[in-house]
Structure 1
Amino acid sequence: MLRDKVAIVTGAGPGLGRTLARLMAEQGAKVAVAARTASALEVIAAESGALAVPTDVTDAGQVQHLAETVHATFGRIDVLVNAAFPGTHRKNVLDMDPAYLARWREVVDIATYGTLLACRYVAPYMVARGSGSIVNLTSMSSRVGYAGRSDYAAGKAGVHLLSHCLADELGPHGVRVNCVAPGWIASDVLTDWMRTRAADEGVTFEDIHSRDTEAMALRRIATEEDVARAVIFLASDLAQATTGATLDVNGGQQFT
């Protein structure tokens, strides 16, 4: 689906970013991965043959260097996937101290401003070719608010509407901009959270897992591969007439 295309994945640390790089390479893409932690990029580069470019997505100079490096190396950029995960610390607004307020702003900067910067410096190469696909990872939290997650929700909601704006701006130049919005993703982190909730409630892990999955239409939690395949579809030529769209990958969790 991505044979001979050149793709950049930002936020390519352990987890989804790593899975994205691997599956995109398996689909024939030449992949460049970017994240702040160089050691994590080296692991990804070793297993998927990706070009590793350490980058802080909130630093305009570093993001510009990323775009220039990838274009100089491969001669083109066809796909940009913005997957930087800003994290969240689950704190109520009434409990936010000055240190946390600074962290709140950092989360929004990574999610929204980081996505904007990547688009700003990669899109011109796509416009020059008259084609390209940008896929931004948002979240179910970008449209459904949860207590204690205002930092993450605000950052991802910003990406959601930013994508609509950029789809309108770049569409006349042949560049598509779409979103993939995961819900929960099966991982050790999610499992640990479920175990913590089970201990707090005095029930078993299986009780919590069953309760959560029964609330989803598909009765299962999406995997990293599920999310990555949705990204690959939107990045590919199979989605040539799709822009400004959001593909939900949450097993039906959002509407149930």
Structure 2
Amino acid sequence: MMLQGKVAVITGAGPGLGRTLAVLAAREGADVVVAARGKDGLDAIADAVRREGREALAVPTDVAVPDQVRRLAAATIDRFGRVDVLVNAAFPGTHRKNVLDMDDAYLEQWRAAVETAAYGTLLACRHFAPHMVAAGAGSIVNITSMSSRTGYAGRSDYAAGKAAVHLLSHCLAGELGPAGVRVNCVAPGWIAGDVLDDWMRARAEAEGATFEEVRTRDVAAMALRRIATEEDVARAVLFLASDQARATTGATIDVNGGQLFT
């Protein structure tokens, strides 16, 4: 198994990609620590990991708060004595708003969103990486986005936050590489699910088209003619987390069905 005997920490472990990643990591042999702001969802993910026969720890955490991230790292080491894999996936829900339409309240929301992505990722690396350095090995995988390479109107918070993580990963790869710690990114495009379907329906209504017409047109613009699933994205993360990628650092794997070539 790809992660046999390893301990994997997943921040931003929500019910979608986070849950899928946690369950697949467990199937590949890892004990899993899940962290996010909401406790109820975390407990459900931890239960799913245990059903795969692995140990799980759920730690409610706001990754933008230093003391909470420090507590998360301490809880992980207290429970498992090590950390081999860190996956940073935390990013708050985002709304679509152009800069000229932002009031003071939304500007503060914009700042908080970028802080969660960039500063939250930095904090997690700051408190987990020393344990990897001491062990002489480890893998950090940061979830960025297709939007870290190309911006879209109304999504400046998302693009700025993900782009910051993208370049932060390059910096950390250079800093931590001599100690045997790898830092890479996975950049999803659209991910199949209810959120994407709702957005497509809204676009269809605005265009006076049907949902199927919009979906068919969008998929036809992808080289693989399919929208990536949560499992597609999670499999790329697991590869980078595993020893199969032991000579890979500072890299980004795009998982977007050929929607964007980089």
Range into which the TM-score falls when normalised by the shorter chain: over 0.9
Question: Identity rate of aligned residues, in percent?
Answer: 73
State the SS of the aligned residue for 1:53.
strand
| Aligned residue pairs, count | 256
The within-5 A match list for 1:71-220 is 71-220=77-226
Native 8 Å contact 1:13 1:40 kept in 2? yes
Q: In the TM superposition, what is the alpha-carbon distance from 1:170 to its structure 2 partner?
A: 0.2
Q: What residue is the counterpart of 1:23 in the other structure?
A: 24
Structure 1 vs Structure 2 CA RMSD: 0.9
Q: Distance in 1 between matches of 2:187 and 2:135?
A: 28
Q: What residue identity is the alignment partner of 2:219?
A: T
1:154-183 Cα deviation digits (max 9, x unpaired): 000000000000000000000000000000
Deviation at 1:255, TM superposition (A): 2.9
**Partner-residue secondary structure (3-state), 1:4:** coil
Corresponding residue number in structure 2 for 1:38: 39
Please list the CA deviations of residues 10-46 of structure 1 after superposition, one character each: whole Å capped at 9, or x if unmatched. Answer: 0001100111101000100000000000001011011
SS in 2 for 1:111: helix
Contact 1:87/1:152, CA 8 A, preserved across alignment: no
TM-score by length of 1: 0.99
Q: Which runs of 4+ in 1 moved over 2 A?
A: none
Shift of 1:241: 0.3
CA distance in 2, matches of 1:255, 1:194: 22
Equivalent-residue separation in structure 2 for 1:47 and 1:20 (angstroms): 11
1:60-113 CA deviation, whole Å, 9 max, x = no partner?
001011011111111110000001122221111111110000000011011100
Q: Which residue of 1 aligns with 2:64?
A: 58
C-alpha distance in 2 between matches for 1:121 and 1:158: 19
More deviation, 28-37/79-88: 79-88
Q: Which runs of 5+ in 1 are unaligned?
A: none
Alignment TM-score, normalising by the size of structure 2? 0.96
In the alignment, structure 2 segments of 5+ residues that lack a partner are: 51-55
* Alpha-carbon distance in 1 for matches of 2:124, 2:76: 12
Q: 1:165-209: CA deviations, max 9, x gaps?
A: 000000000000000000000010101111111111111111000
Q: Are 1:223 and 2:229 matched, yes or no?
A: yes
